[in-house]
Amino acid sequence: MSSFSALRRPDAPSLAKGLAALAVAVGTGVWGALLLAPGPQILPAALDASSDPGRDITSVARWFGGAALRVRVAVVGLITEAEGRGTALLSINGGPVQAYVVGQALAPGVAVSGITPTGVSIDQDGIVENIPVVERTSAQIQGFVTIKPAGGLD
């Protein structure tokens, strides 16, 4: 029992001093860890893990037999001008119809190379393919209707 008699009950001022010392020690440790922690560093270019979307690797892929996939293009509608420019409404691989202009990429290695009143020319890896407008089978016509100009001009 003599060992328990050595322990005394702390009074309020010494308890407050102990808690204050503990708070100062914890605050110093937290702030020291925050201030002395290493900051984020910019990685050298050789170690950068992000990909560069501007690089075209199709020619390198062809060396190893990685030819581009063929893209299925359906021409739904056309808006053409006299100079061969215009806009084509295309469905790519059965997807939703979107508007494309000459030079715009449809997929990697695939671009619109020309728009004529009868169809669209698609350049797929150097091979130009002419795709005619899809004929509508329904009797109901929606939108613009093409007509031949008067005076025998075709």
Lowest mean pLDDT among 46-55, 66-75, 86-95, 101-110: 46-55
pLDDT reading at 134 higher than 90: no
pTM value surpassing 0.75: no
**Sheet strand arrangement including 119-124:** 105-107, 110-116, 119-124, 127-132
Would you list the domain boundaries of the chain?
69-132
Q: Which CATH architecture has domain 69-132?
A: Roll (2.30)
CA 18/CA 110 separation, integer angstroms: 75
Output the pLDDT for position 21.
Answer: 95
